[in-house]
Chains A and B, each alone.
Chain A
């Protein structure tokens, strides 16, 4: 790289800087390095910049443009103003889809959080036995694709043939309508997504729990804090950055749930459990109404951005407190 020559020219100064130490170097660094290395970092990030422009900026801008057109996937898109958005605002299906997605998100995030944190606590507790085997079992769902997860649970919760209804009937109850009752179908989606999503979040929590200094907990115990107090007053506050990330990622993940639902019940029964990504897929690719689908995409994007901003704000306020 062309920058090496200048480094050699300044080697005496550079080595002097190294001996000066961090504080001094940090103070002088920004001015110097910003002019010294331009080509090297540019080359390093070049591929990422091109990919970012091609597959994020361009589709983003294009999607915004499409949402104001009647584009059907072929031909030339024609500008129709805000018509798509007006139609969306009057589309009862869109409201159902949006409401279902939000309800699902609202229910699944706490469930994911509690499951992942609880299991992580158990897996790091000194008392529980058989932790290494249990950890592998909890991690198993991570290996299983959402499509296969859908197959597994469909097999287990089949209305007429599933093991679960069979067991319920054996115990004297009536089999539940996992396939024909929309609310039970949603409960099933919640169960499956929690089962599938725990592994990753659990890993995050385990790593974070291990980073909590033992001395804090021991000191608290000497002061007479019980298990719950130690958890609530020490562990939980220290896990806040991880908690924040888990909640943010789970929220975004829930908002764009697709594959597992597709395999489990296809958004059914009927369209009662259709989520927003599925709606976008159907209108855009099956009904070839790209303009309309793009408008729905933009609404989803705005919702995600709002969620992220709210959570970021919330996180900041917590840090100040």
Chain B
């Protein structure tokens, strides 16, 4: 009798799932502790810094909301695409292009420009529509290649990120460049900034847009016939076709919505945080958003707390860097280790610890 034996069917009870996931998170934190020790820091102090600032101080919580906003929108884009069977990974590009589109419209409202008389009541809806359509068009290109020609959307969308980033790099170095030394645009007019919503913090109205989007995506996927068709196309394209669903058309639709949501993430970053367009604003958020969606098990509502937790850890990492001198890149390690170990934790549920074997072994030695 073996001490650890394989189960015929994995134990997938809620308790087992919760226990193995918790074990995975603790294991990831334990591994990261060794890194903290290596940098001469006390792991307890490091974890305290990581979680205290974003979740126990108002200023830190405001920053956590700021960081969570684009993550929520990108995660929602991921959910719409992936649940429809379209494994899109082009959010870095959508984010950057959405940021550029909203910056362009905002700069056009500066005095003397063609849209100078635009009231904020027109500007914000117009900026949202414009960014959304730019993102939808961009991801739609990948959607067409997949739906019409059967191209591999995973690689095409990964590649398209570099193209989008280079396009925006060209824009800020050339046509949209402000007079001055750095390749960046002018600061956007104050009237185009998203309002700050928590006094004493940097949290801006973009979070309201993100929450509204989460509710809309939840409604689309759970309540509307169109969403049902999308999910069916994703789960089983053959069954979808048999049921009379135009699967390529649904794929294209899902691609467009998903890219549009990714572009709105760029809008919130530009109008809410940066207030000017420059090179390299995405900084990997397009991939982090995908990871957030996966951790939330592609559930549009669960995305909100998950993104807050993830965004908070990013804020905490900066605090950790200031206080303990630990490079904030360690949070990349911690975050991705958590995801990988949570994925691997399903293995634990396929095995069972056989305490009976231990006992019989003891009896055997005593005998």
User: A and B bound?
Assistant: no
Residues of A within 8 A of B (CB): none
Residues of B within 8 A of A (CB): none
